């Protein structure tokens, strides 16, 4: 009995002496140095920057007193966005995008060519909600892809081009007018982006993105003939910066 008691006391003393040593070794291996090198988790990202827009689309619009050719080319703008990281791999982003594209109205359809082309700026304001899947996130590079839905608001335009022929009605210096009213639509798109994190704290980043948006624009037609739809389908290249907090 006394021998068993001595063994138990020895084991207890040995345990008491080992615990502080193990705790000290654990603190030395996983303590302050790792906390210094590992940046804290930041759940919010604010992004901002500029965009270049490539829009494609053209249509022949029948108006009074005849027909004109309408096409939309590229443009540019700016954006701001705020993302909330739900998990390390998933984020939800709200984005506001303002851009403008050149809208060209010209005569010259049906093999008749008159001088006179009017160019105006079609303004597009887009509010989008997207889901970002962060497929690469290794503390220095953040690569993400995902879908989005948006609400586009288009500006109100009145564009006209001059005629120098009496084909549609007698006289010269006639005008063909394409009238557009303020319009809006719900759209969808897909995008991909990459952020390169800067500094030790990884708060700031620079990045770029590429986005495709399915979007259409409608023109009023003359003589009560309704509206003509043109597919914009902009491809948007973005360059900007981000701040994590």
What average pLDDT is seen over the chain? Answer: 76
pLDDT digits (tens, 9 = 90+) for 138-152: 779 999 999 999 999
Q: Which of 92, 104, 61 is nearest to 219 (CA)?
A: 61
pLDDT digits (tens, 9 = 90+) for 55-108: 877 666 655 556 667 778 888 999 999 999 999 899 999 999 999 888 777 765
Phi, psi torsion values for 32, nearest 5 degrees:
-65, -40
Q: Which of 88-92, 110-114, 190-194 has the lowest mean pLDDT?
A: 110-114
| 168 pLDDT tier (thresholds 50, 70, 90) | very low
Q: Which of 70-74, 96-100, 214-218, 233-237 has the lowest mean pLDDT?
A: 70-74
The beta strands (E) that lie in the chain are given as 44-54, 57-63, 66-87, 90-106, 117-137, 141-154, 157-162, 175-180, 183-198, 204-214, 216-220, 227-231, 235-244
Instruction: Flag whether pLDDT at 156 surpasses 70.
Output: yes
């Amino acid at each position: 009995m006394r021998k068993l008691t001595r063994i138990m006391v020895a084991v207890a003393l040995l345990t008491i002496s080992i615990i502080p040593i193990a705790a000290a070794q654990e603190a030395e291996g996983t303590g302050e140095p790792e906390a210094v090198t590992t940046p804290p988790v930041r759940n919010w990202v604010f992004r901002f920057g500029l965009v270049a827009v490539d829009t494609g689309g053209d249509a022949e619009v029948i108006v009074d007193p005849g027909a004109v050719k309408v096409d939309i080319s590229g443009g540019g703008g700016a954006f701001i966005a705020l993302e909330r990281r739900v998990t390390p791999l998933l984020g939800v982003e709200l984005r506001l995008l303002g851009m403008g594209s050149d809208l060209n109205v010209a005569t010259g359809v049906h093999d008749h060519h008159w001088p006179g082309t009017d160019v105006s700026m079609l303004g597009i304001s887009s509010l989008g909600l997207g889901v970002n899947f962060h497929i690469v996130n290794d503390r220095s590079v953040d690569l993400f892809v995902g879908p989005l839905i948006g609400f586009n608001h288009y500006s109100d335009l009145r564009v006209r081009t001059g005629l120098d022929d009496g084909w549609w009605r007698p006289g010269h210096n006639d005008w063909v007018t394409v009238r557009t009213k303020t319009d809006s639509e719900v759209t969808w798109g897909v995008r991909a982006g990459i952020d390169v994190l800067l500094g030790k704290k990884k708060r700031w980043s620079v990045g770029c993105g590429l986005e495709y948006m399915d979007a259409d624009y409608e023109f009023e037609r003359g003589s009560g003939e309704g509206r003509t739809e043109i597919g914009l389908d902009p491809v948007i290249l973005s360059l900007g910066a981000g701040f994590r907090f």
